[in-house]
């Protein structure tokens, strides 16, 4: 039995992450940074495809940890949700200095821990990468759906998002096309073919090419929806020059869509009570 490809550890990704951040102009989303690290280090597709959870690859998870440690070490900052930026300190760090960050961060953590009441979760709590456990739970539910039910869910999502005339076809031998809808924007409208794929791994560029091939002569707009992820090469293939662009919705984005559209997801607001002593003193 072939062994699983070896994925770079979080500390091995810290220096490449800093280099990638510089090449991206000093700021980047997680996905942009991941794609640039893969490009700079020429990481094989087999390594990219190793999964950590149903919605996250192992290399993506390790990169999240790398960013967490770089942030704790003052090399990166997270000024806005989802966007990371390099700091002045980060710009001047050498590779040798970056290698020392995990040691320094853990040492600082131990000092802070010793000076306060111990907590049950300890390091996992204080040095936690970007995780959204509700998404893992949701994707577990979605992957248990039957294929036709998942197609109906995709149909509902498109309708709720402003598409009209959304039809599920799902015919075998149709190149993976599962349906078609019309997106109307003011005076213009676009016919969009979509494919929805329940998947726990990563979608390959071959699947994107097959889908595009089935679209030829029918429409220039395509939408690929999956519960899994897309490899870096699949993302490049989706936006390849000279070919009809295909928009990609991975498991992470799919969860956000369902949450925003309130489809099968309910959110609770926690009430915060504030007392105004001055108000009572004026009675």
Three-state DSSP state, 28:
strand
Per-residue model confidence (pLDDT) at position 122: 47
Per-residue model confidence (pLDDT) at position 120: 46
Cα torsion 25, 30, 32, 35 to 10°: value is: 120
Cα radius of gyration (the chain): 23
Q: Which two tokens stand for residue 197?
A: 């794929």
Q: Which domains does the chain have, with CATH numbers?
A: 10-130 (no CATH), 138-260 (3.40.1350.10)
Cα(188)–Cα(77) distance, integer angstroms: 41
The order of strands in the sheet holding 188-197 is: 163-168, 179-185, 188-197, 221-226, 246-249
Per-residue model confidence (pLDDT) at position 95: 95
pLDDT in tens, the chain (283 residues): 567 789 999 999 999 999 999 999 999 988 889 999 999 999 998 898 888 887 788 999 999 999 999 999 999 998 766 789 999 999 999 999 999 999 999 988 888 877 775 544 444 444 555 545 788 889 889 999 998 899 999 999 999 998 999 999 866 555 678 999 999 887 888 899 999 988 878 898 999 999 999 988 888 789 999 999 998 899 999 999 988 889 999 998 999 999 999 999 988 888 888 888 888 888 7
Per-residue model confidence (pLDDT) at position 90: 95
Q: What is the pTM of this model?
A: 0.72
DSSP 172-185: TTSTT--EEEEEEE
Per-residue model confidence (pLDDT) at position 117: 57
Specify the residue for token string 């280099």.
19
| Bridge partner residues of 76 (DSSP) | 86
Q: Which two tokens stand for residue 63?
A: 């990169």
Q: Strands 76-80, 83-86: parallel, antiparallel or unpaired by DSSP?
A: antiparallel
């Amino acid at each position: 039995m072939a062994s699983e490809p070896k994925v770079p550890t979080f500390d091995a990704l810290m220096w490449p992450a800093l280099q990638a951040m510089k090449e991206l102009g000093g700021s980047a989303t997680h996905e942009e940074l991941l794609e640039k690290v893969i490009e700079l280090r020429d990481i094989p597709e087999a390594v990219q495809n190793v999964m950590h959870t149903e919605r996250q690859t192992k290399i993506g998870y390790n990169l999240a940890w790398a960013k967490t440690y770089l942030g704790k070490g003052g090399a990166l900052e997270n000024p806005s949700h989802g966007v990371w930026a390099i700091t002045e300190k980060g710009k001047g760090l050498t590779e040798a200095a970056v290698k020392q960050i995990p040691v320094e961060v853990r040492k600082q953590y131990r000092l802070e821990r010793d000076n306060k009441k111990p907590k049950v979760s300890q390091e996992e709590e204080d040095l936690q990468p970007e995780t959204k456990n509700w998404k893992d739970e949701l994707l577990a539910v979605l992957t248990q759906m039957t294929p036709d039910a998942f197609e109906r869910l995709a149909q509902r999502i498109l309708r709720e998002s402003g598409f009209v005339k959304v039809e599920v076809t799902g015919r075998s031998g149709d190149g993976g096309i599962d349906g078609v809808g019309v997106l109307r924007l003011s005076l213009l409208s676009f016919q969009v073919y979509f494919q929805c794929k329940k998947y726990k791994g990563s979608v390959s560029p071959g699947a994107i090419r097959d889908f595009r091939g089935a679209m030829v002569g029918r429409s220039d707009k395509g939408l690929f929806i999956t519960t899994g992820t897309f490899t870096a090469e699949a993302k490049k293939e989706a936006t390849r020059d000279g070919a009809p662009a295909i928009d990609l919705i991975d498991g992470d984005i799919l969860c956000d869509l369902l949450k925003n559209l309130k489809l099968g997801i309910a959110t609770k607001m926690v009430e915060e009570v504030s007392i105004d002593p001055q108000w009572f003193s004026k009675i």
